[in-house]
Amino acid sequence: MLRKELIKAVKHLELVARRAVNDQLAGQYQSVFKGRGMDFTDVREYQPGDDIRVIDWNVSARMNDLYIKQFVEERELTVLLLVDASGSQTFGTYNRRKQETAAELAALIAFSAIKNNDRVGLITFTDQIEAFIPPKKGRKHVLRVITEILDFTPERSGTDIPAALEYLSRITSKRALTFVISDFQDTDFETSLSIANRRHEIIPLVLEDPMETELPDMGLVPFEDPETGEIFTVDTSSKRVRSEFRSEALRRKKQLVRTFRKHKVDHIPIRTDASHIEPLVQYFRTRSKRY
């Protein structure tokens, strides 16, 4: 992408993301994703109505009066964006490609995080780790993260989700709120997902394009696998072919949902032909009712 076009794209994405954060996600992020705990700050004299469970009996004995402990929420979180940059992310048949959708989602999450003084980091992956930007705060840092996603050219085209999740566990010992933005067109990542989710909170944002489920009647069409480069011809005019394609796609989708539910991992389906903001808002609302 040319530098002038890149700057324009980054500024546009910042404007759209900030507007959405302020208008639709304001307060939702903070109320859903709490800090790591409560830090003790000071003591003060007991007042009628205070919770007796926070009385500091040692100080009360010394002062010959009742004193209670005061706490503040340890608000700061570490937010990591684990973004799939494999060949399948260049696919998209409606409003935008998965790659563009991933950048928009990352911007929404990143600006929500820094609005609440959280740190944001980025891991991009294919079948290897392509790039890592350590978590930091601030608008300038978030713009660097967004620029990296928009203007990134990966070295490889395959997908290795287990390797990405294992790398996540190696680079940070602290618990991180981790959004995995991917179409999850990979296999054998269940064990890695389970292990990573014990240390961190993993939230998959599953990118979907309508043509990956419903194949339209277009006659004989050559398709290229974006990850392997293999080219094959499909007779899309065949009802049997379209039916088998749809059945296999639904089977994979159901299996993915079962995997997430088995390990108690929340996931958010994101379609390339629909709003990517509304699913996030709906997830925040639903989750806030659970906690």
Pair 173, 78: CB distance under 8 Å: no
Pair 79, 120: CB distance under 8 Å: yes
Look at residue 288 in the predicted model and tell me its pLDDT: 75
Look at residue 73 in the predicted model and tell me its pLDDT: 54
Pair 273, 95: CB distance under 8 Å: yes
Look at residue 76 in the predicted model and tell me its pLDDT: 77
Domain definitions of the chain by residue range = 3-31+76-290, 38-74
Q: Spell out a b/e string for 147-163, using b for 16 or more CB atoms within 10 Å of the CB, else e.
A: bbbbebebeebebbbbb
Look at residue 32 in the predicted model and tell me its pLDDT: 76
Pair 205, 180: CB distance under 8 Å: yes
Look at residue 279 in the predicted model and tell me its pLDDT: 93
Distance CA 68, CA 88 (A): 57
The conformational region for residue 117 under phi > 0 = left, psi -120 to 50 = alpha, else beta, is: left
Pair 199, 165: CB distance under 8 Å: no
Nearest to 181 by CA among 166, 165, 162, 203: 203
Topology adopted by domain 3-31+76-290: Rossmann fold (3.40.50)
Residue by residue, pLDDT tens for the chain (291 residues) are: 667 788 888 888 888 888 888 888 766 777 777 655 555 567 888 888 787 888 889 988 988 899 888 765 555 789 999 999 999 999 988 778 999 999 999 999 999 999 888 999 999 999 999 999 999 999 999 999 999 998 889 999 999 999 999 999 899 878 899 999 999 999 999 999 999 999 999 999 999 999 999 999 999 999 888 888 899 999 999 999 999 999 999 999 999 999 999 999 999 999 999 998 999 988 888 887 765
**Cα separation values, 130 from 125, 126, 200, Å:** 5, 7, 21
**Cα separation values, 177 from 46, 97, 132, 143, 270, Å:** 37, 25, 16, 19, 19
Pair 94, 135: CB distance under 8 Å: no
Beta bridge partners of 123: 82, 132
Look at residue 26 in the predicted model and tell me its pLDDT: 62
Pair 125, 163: CB distance under 8 Å: yes
